[in-house]
């Protein structure tokens, strides 16, 4: 077996994982309409990839205002819960483990996506820059647009949002998910509260770093009260250098990113959650995370540490063997290779990714990627080894 460290047994909260290869949250925009309901096709897609150590679902909106992209699924209606139950049943039938990613985009939205065409909500009334929302322009058609100017949340509304996260956690349990990931990355709502760029409040949810971390703390505590901390993960995107990349999926570069995220991780350690997910910059020639930061993350957090980015199997094995990570997520490779763990274990080549079919559409580029068919020589070699 190649890259044996990726196949060593490990646990995640109450679960024993079959390998350390994770399918991360991957927006595919194929929910059923109207109602943003998970479909039977989505169940097939996740079932095909159930050989992952565990799966984290694509981001799923905790409420209608949490939507920033057309055709993304939610987890606030009974129809959505029922749809997700088909997904979790399909994954469990293959012996897989699947967590739901709870998502609220905050200000990264457009009035066309909001109930009653209202303004998006945010910590402060500051319009998002260098990101896009995606609105539907007709059946199966849509365009990227500038996010609308948001309105600032009141403290009472913030408390209501925290309860919406807790309710989404209840809904996820009802849908059969094994655990939850709180999306606190990529410039979305929780990240907006953490960042001094997006949060310019002068009450207990703004100002000092400790105050800006309050929303994260209260959301994690509320969700933990529903599912238990040993079935929760949180995702961050710490960026240490500015970039000219004009991308949707990008976080904020804080004045002191090291301090900001280590303090945020201390919040998670206090609650005792199961894992921390760190999504690194994933475009060509993107800056790597400083090793000093990786090492302090390990010293600060006692749960499982998951990294995602432009990882190859070689690089993933090295960081696991260096004890800087416990789990590695492979995004685009898992889209194109439903049998990715088997391909890594056997050194089999990977399918090419179809970029044109990433978002929206049907089974093409979604459930039609082939499994690898080993040659007679490869079968004999595997038996002999």
How far is 38 from 83, CA to CA, in rounded Å? Answer: 5
Q: Which residue's structure tokens are 């995640």?
A: 12
Q: Which two tokens stand for residue 37?
A: 């309901």
Q: Report the C-alpha gap between 99 and 95 in whole angstroms.
A: 14
Strand partners, 144: 134
How far apart (Å, rounded) are the C-alpha atoms in residues 261 and 251?
Answer: 12
Inter-helix orientation angle 291-300/257-271, to 10°: 20
Active site residues: 188
251 Cβ neighbours under 8 A, 6+ residues apart = 185, 186, 187, 191, 195, 236, 237, 238, 239
Q: What is the pLDDT along the chain (385 residues), one digit of tens a residue?
A: 789 999 999 999 999 999 999 999 999 999 999 999 999 999 999 999 999 999 999 999 999 999 999 999 999 999 999 999 999 999 999 999 999 999 999 999 999 999 999 999 999 999 998 899 999 999 999 999 999 999 999 999 999 999 999 999 999 999 999 999 999 999 999 999 999 999 999 999 999 999 999 999 999 999 999 999 999 999 999 988 765 554 545 678 899 999 999 999 999 999 999 999 999 988 777 778 999 999 999 999 999 999 999 999 999 999 999 999 999 999 999 999 999 999 999 999 999 999 999 999 999 999 999 999 987 556 545 544 5
Name the residue ranges covered by the structural domains of the chain. Answer: 4-384
Please provide residue 151's backbone torsions phi and psi, each rounded to the nearest 5 degrees: -110, 155
By DSSP bridging, strand 275-279 and strand 304-308 are parallel
CATH of domain 4-384: 3.20.20.70
Which is it for strands 275-279 and 10-12: parallel, antiparallel or unpaired? unpaired
- How far apart are the C-alpha atoms of 359 and 365, rounded to whole Å? 9
The dihedral built from the CA positions of residue 316, 52, 310 and 375, taken in this order, carries a sign that is positive
Q: Are the C-beta atoms of 80 and 73 separated by less than 8 Å?
A: yes
DSSP H helices in 184-250: 189-194, 209-212, 214-227
Give this prediction's pTM: 0.96
Omega cis (within 30) before 34: yes
Give the three-class secondary structure for 59.
strand
First vs last Cα of the chain: how many Å apart? 8
């Amino acid at each position: 077996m190649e890259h044996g460290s990726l196949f060593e047994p490990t646990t995640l909260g109450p679960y024993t994982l079959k390998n350390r290869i994770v399918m991360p949250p991957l927006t595919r925009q194929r929910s059923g309409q109207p109602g943003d309901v998970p479909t039977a096709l989505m169940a097939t897609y996740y079932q095909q990839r159930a050989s992952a150590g565990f799966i984290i679902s694509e981001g799923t909106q905790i409420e209608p205002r949490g939507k920033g992209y057309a055709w993304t699924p939610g987890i606030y209606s009974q129809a959505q819960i029922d749809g997700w139950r088909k997904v979790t049943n399909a994954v469990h039938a293959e012996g897989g483990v699947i967590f739901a990613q709870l998502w609220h985009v905050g200000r990264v939205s457009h009035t066309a996506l909001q109930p009653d065409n209202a303004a998006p909500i945010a910590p402060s009334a500051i319009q998002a820059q260098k990101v896009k929302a995606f609105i539907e322009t007709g059946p199966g058609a849509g365009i990227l647009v500038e996010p609308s100017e948001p309105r600032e949340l009141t403290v009472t509304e913030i408390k209501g949002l925290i309860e919406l996260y807790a309710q989404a956690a209840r809904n996820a349990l009802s849908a059969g998910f094994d655990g939850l990931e709180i999306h606190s990355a990529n410039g979305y709502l929780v990240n907006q509260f953490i960042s001094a760029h997006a949060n310019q409040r002068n009450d207990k949810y703004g100002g000092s770093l400790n105050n800006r971390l309050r929303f994260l703390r209260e959301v994690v505590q509320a969700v933990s009260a529903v599912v238990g901390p040993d079935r929760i993960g949180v995702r961050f995107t710490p960026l240490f250098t500015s970039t000219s990349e004009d991308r949707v999926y990008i976080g904020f570069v804080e004045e002191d990113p090291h301090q900001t995220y280590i303090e945020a991780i201390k919040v998670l350690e206090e609650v005792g959650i199961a894992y921390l997910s760190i999504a690194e910059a994933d475009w060509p020639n993107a800056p790597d995370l400083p090793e000093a930061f990786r090492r302090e993350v390990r010293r600060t957090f006692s749960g499982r540490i998951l990294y995602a980015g432009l990882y190859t199997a070689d690089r993933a094995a090295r960081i696991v063997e260096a004890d800087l990570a416990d789990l590695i997520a492979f995004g685009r490779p898992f889209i194109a290779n439903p049998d990715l763990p088997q391909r890594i274990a056997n050194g089999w080549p990977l399918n090419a990714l179809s970029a044109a079919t990433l978002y929206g559409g049907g089974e093409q580029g979604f459930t039609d990627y082939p499994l690898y068919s080993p040659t007679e020589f490869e079968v004999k070699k595997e038996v002999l080894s």
